[in-house]
Structure 1
Amino acid sequence: MKIILATSNRGKVREIADLFSEDEVTPYSELIGPMHIVENGSDFAANALIKARSVFSKLPKGGAVVLSDDSGISVPLLNHEPGIFSARYAGEGASDRENLEKLVENLKARGLQEAPAYYTAAIAVVSPEGEYVVHGWMHGRVIDTPRGEGGFGYDPIFIPEGYDQTLGELDPAIKRTISHRAKALELAKPIIGMLRSLHA
């Protein structure tokens, strides 16, 4: 079955292609070129669906299934910021480092050296047979001093529950087993399996 990903992020493409190895997994940009998608939903699920629907609407009618994700980090003590604005917390076009630095500044402004936090991933699947959304979470805490060079985004300041290293320090293989996206993709597997049987 053809699975079109509503992302051009190579890391995400590789992760999803590995998980659905019996399918033909292709980033949308290889089929329809670059697109500007306005993510104006009120939560992760809405934004994941906006991306998947936008790509699905541009594809030739047929058997393709579109998969997208929207994810981010939330700190309850900071009014659940940055949440759905994780990728643009420090403004449109902000770098990962600028977003991370803004979160650290906001922690320090509250006199916090660390605070409980969690990552959310919403995976949306849009197909001729219908639309589906599943979620995965990873809980832990954020700290005010980045550690480690691995990962991306807020990984150098996030320590998952049960660990004493940040995601920037942890082995990528461990991160893949505990991540919010990995958990959501596991929940998407039965949906993809059901659609695969319908498209066979």
Structure 2
Amino acid sequence: MPHRKLQPGRLVLASHNAGKLREVAALVAPHGMQVVSAGELGLPEPAETENSFLGNAGIKALAAARAAGLPALADDSGFSVAALGGDPGVRTADWAELPGGGRDYTMAMAKVAALAEPHANRRAWFTCALVLAWPDGHTEGFEGKVHGTWVHPPRGERGFGYDPMFVPEGHSQTFGEMDPAEKHRISHRARAFALLAAACLPGAG
């Protein structure tokens, strides 16, 4: 079945995460899309009840598309450590949750390191799932990964989330140290987006 193409115009980014919004908005802008965030539209964040990145991205994209009456793009991404059986994985954000609300990724990175340190295996990876949804319920999903190793203590003030503890294969800097343009070129989000763009975005493919 052929992929459905987006038409140039307004696109809802179904995220309240400022870091993700910056990255995704930069990716879609060259394709003639005028981006508005779910937060700007006052849309609630739906419960992420699936056990996969694509499943949770689909929940968010469909909820935003139906509520706004516009096509919506959602991202669900996470950090996985081989020594922890792939955790935090789809619960990446949950590991950073604070009892009184908000998130502390410095705490989350310390937790990952403490649990993984006894193991020799330092393999880690980031996964990004992107789902486009239309108000009629049609969806298109794409997934990208980038592999590397985890390090602790964290290094770098750039990026967000677990970026300061991840060194991608073939590089010596963490995502938190890397120039944002370089990170965007090689990241899990960039890999998922390249697939999405070729299939669904105007002026691509």
| TM range, smaller chain | 0.7 to 0.9
1:70 aligns with 2:67: no
> Could you say which residue in structure 1 is the equivalent of 2:89?
83
Q: Which runs of 4+ in 1 moved over 3 A?
A: 90-94
Deviation at 1:91, TM superposition (A): 4.3
Deviation at 1:129, TM superposition (A): 7.1
Name the TM-score, length of structure 1 as normaliser.
0.86
Matched ranges for 1:30-69 at <5 A: 30-31=40-41, 33-60=42-69, 64-69=70-75
**RMSD of the TM alignment (CA)?**
2.1
Q: Which of 189, 193, 199 is the matching residue for 2:201? A: 193
Larger RCO (CA within 8 A; separation ≥ 6):
2
Output the amino acid matched with 1:84. Answer: V
1:150 aligns with 2:163: no
| Greater helix content | 1
Q: Which sits farther off after the overlay, 180-189 or 123-132? A: 123-132
| CA–CA distance in structure 2, aligned partners of residues 132 and 102 of structure 1 | 34
**Aligned partners of 1:156 and 1:168 also within 8 Å:** yes
| CA–CA distance in structure 2, aligned partners of residues 124 and 16 of structure 1 | 12
Question: Can you give the 5+ residue segments of structure 1 that lack an aligned partner in the other structure?
Answer: none
Question: Can you give the 5+ residue segments of structure 2 that lack an aligned partner in the other structure?
Answer: 1-8
| CA–CA distance in structure 2, aligned partners of residues 15 and 192 of structure 1 | 18
**Aligned partners of 1:107 and 1:144 also within 8 Å:** no
Aligned residues: 190
Q: Which of 151, 157, 169 is the matching residue for 1:161? A: 169
